[in-house]
Amino acid sequence: MSEVAVKDNDFLRQFETRINGKLAKIEYSSQDKKIFLTKLVLPENFDEHLKDEFIESVLHIVEERNMRVVPTSPEIARFLRKHKEYKNLLPVGIRI
């Protein structure tokens, strides 16, 4: 599926991946059965395709944990608007 290997660093509350030795991360907080994806941090010149793969990998982890996604990061909200197949991960009443 993906060449992006994602690690959940629960101590720092962030999903991480390294591409060409550079760290990319999605910071989060969780409450009940929801995970709030609060910030996407990418190194300079991070490939757009790899960014999408990184976000997809994180969404698959969230789905496996039977959680709902609340995208408070504008970049992640934009991704979810573009990729309607992940709409089922949004909590009831949340529209993007």
Q: For residue 11, is it within any domain?
A: yes
**Residue 85: Cβ-neighbour burial (10 angstroms; 0-12, 13-18, 19+):** exposed
Q: How confident is the model at residue 85 (pLDDT cuts 50, 70, 90)?
A: very high
**Among candidates 48, 41, 38, which has minimal Cα distance to 17?**
41
Q: For residue 1, is it within any domain?
A: no
**CATH number of residue 39's parent domain:** 3.40.630.30
Strands annotated E in 1-96: 7-9, 14-19, 22-31, 34-41, 68-71
What pLDDT sits at residue 94? 83
With contact defined as beta carbons under 8 Å apart, do 43 and 24 qualify? Answer: yes
Q: For residue 82, is it within any domain?
A: yes
With contact defined as beta carbons under 8 Å apart, do 73 and 37 qualify? Answer: yes
pLDDT at 1 over 60: no
Domain that holds residue 51: 6-89
pLDDT digits (tens, 9 = 90+) for 16-48: 999 888 899 999 999 999 999 999 999 988 888
Q: For residue 46, is it within any domain?
A: yes
Q: For the chain, what is the domain count?
A: 1
Q: For residue 95, is it within any domain?
A: no
Q: How confident is the prediction for the chain on average, in pLDDT?
A: 92
Write down the pTM of the prediction: 0.91
